[in-house]
Amino acid sequence: MAPMTESGEEMYALVERLYPLCRSITGDGVRATLRIVDEYIPLHVHEVPTGTQVLDWTVPQEWNIRDAYVADATGRRVVDFAASSLHVLGYSVPVSATMPLSELRAHLHTLPDQPSLVPYRTSYYKAEWGFCLAQETLDALPEGDYEVRVDSTLADGHLTYAEHVVPGQVPDEVIVSCHVCHPSLANDNLAGIAVAVFLARELARRQPYYTYRFVFAPGTIGAITWLARNRERVERVKHGLVLACAGDPGHLTYKRSRRGDAEIDRVLRHVLTASERPHRVTGFTPYGYDERQYCSPGFNLGVGSLTRTPYAGYPEYHTSADNLDFVSPAAMADTLAVCREAFDVLDRNRRYVNLSPYGEPQLGRRGLYDSLGGRSDAQQAQMAMLWVLSLSDGEHGLLDVAERSGLPFDTVAAAADALHGAGLIKA
């Protein structure tokens, strides 16, 4: 595997490439994003036509934008989409007009409490147009007429999402999902996309037990579309993780699935605790990212959410301050490391049956004690063997053993491998 410092820098470089693109829930910005991701991992791109019924929703019209600005009487652009995709209200309908500032104000969005920042705002399902700008920019505008132009189209088209599959030893699936609908916001969610991409590359190098399906889709409507189009596959999904806000300087936060005790919930709690990283584990709420779609009661999948600082939990959230300076290679590398550790536990968390359950089997006769000679953790490894034998009843997995014994999961898994090789347990 690539060193963590190297992968962190590579993830940051991917975020830099994606940052300028104007993404939304549909449109060419999403396609351009997926074309870049496809350079790193091969994607299967899906185009779902406008008007398609997806569960209780309908795929909306496709939105594309070429230019947008507000110009003063001299022709100077005081608000310019070309400077940042955040400057236009997402899904703005076309407009070309001249109007006084008093009339224009109703279409201008600012953050009075954060006067130097530009907000991120959208109007997906209501025909509207508008601009986002810093409050201090608005305060400096003189009264008078302004030229207003939004060069956009809102027409029948498609919703675009993509998948990448890492084949496993079994068809049971783990889904890793991240949204691709936000414009120039580095943490939410370009960092999540980057971590997902590099996680997929690492998993492919180690031939995992489970099949891993990576879903890159617009938030809410994209996940709903994926679920609607994959109802026959959902029963294969045994575990899942939604990745977002993966690059900020905050501590890691894991949000449990709706079930609360799904295997992925236990794995993340164990990995974060064992790593001694500062972290939080929170309960499920039906608000946030797309875990709420995968966990909706009809599907009730075991899907949790991993972030650093959660949504709306940092002042830079959904503002122009969520920029390339806000995310770091080190933070993304740390998020990637936790994902790697968690999926390593998930892949190796087998249940075994003790084939010599009547009394303690003689380990020395089978050379199992000899195999520990010279190991600094020989006593711990021996205890792991005894614990695995004790709990190999077909009902307890290796994570149960690690949690109950207080031993590291890697030590427990190595003990299971040794006992399996000696013919004392079977999966």
E strand or H helix at 226: helix 221-229
Q: In angstroms, rounded to a whole number, what is the distance separating the alpha carbons of residues 404 and 402? A: 6
Q: In angstroms, rounded to a whole number, what is the distance separating the alpha carbons of residues 393 and 424? A: 12
Least Cα distance to 176 among 239, 247, 221, 235 occurs for 239
Q: What are the residue ranges of helices labelled H in 85-171?
A: 101-104, 135-139
Q: How far is CA 330 from the centre of its chain?
A: 17
Least Cα distance to 21 among 81, 68, 109 occurs for 81
What tokens does 248 get? 């900020």
Confirm if 55 and 146 have CB atoms less than 8 A apart.
no
SS3 content of the chain, % helix, strand, coil (to 5): 35, 25, 40
Least Cα distance to 120 among 130, 138, 132 occurs for 132
Query: Annotated binding residue at 188?
Result: yes
Q: In angstroms, rounded to a whole number, what is the distance separating the alpha carbons of residues 126 and 105? A: 19
Look up residue 138 and give its amino acid. L
Confirm if 323 and 186 have CB atoms less than 8 A apart.
yes
Contacts (Cβ under 8 Å, ≥6 apart) of 152: 63, 64, 65, 66, 68, 88, 92, 93, 94
Q: In angstroms, rounded to a whole number, what is the distance separating the alpha carbons of residues 81 and 73? A: 18
Q: In angstroms, rounded to a whole number, what is the distance separating the alpha carbons of residues 200 and 216? A: 12
Cα atoms in the 13 Å half-sphere on the side-chain side of 50: 12
Q: Bridge-partner residues for 397, per DSSP?
A: 351
Cα atoms in the 13 Å half-sphere on the side-chain side of 174: 29
Phi-psi region of 422 (alpha: psi -120 to 50; beta: other; left: phi over 0): alpha
What tokens does 92 get? 């703005």
Least Cα distance to 322 among 254, 245, 264 occurs for 245
Annotation: binding site for Zn(2+)? 182, 188, 318
Binding positions are: 182, 188, 318
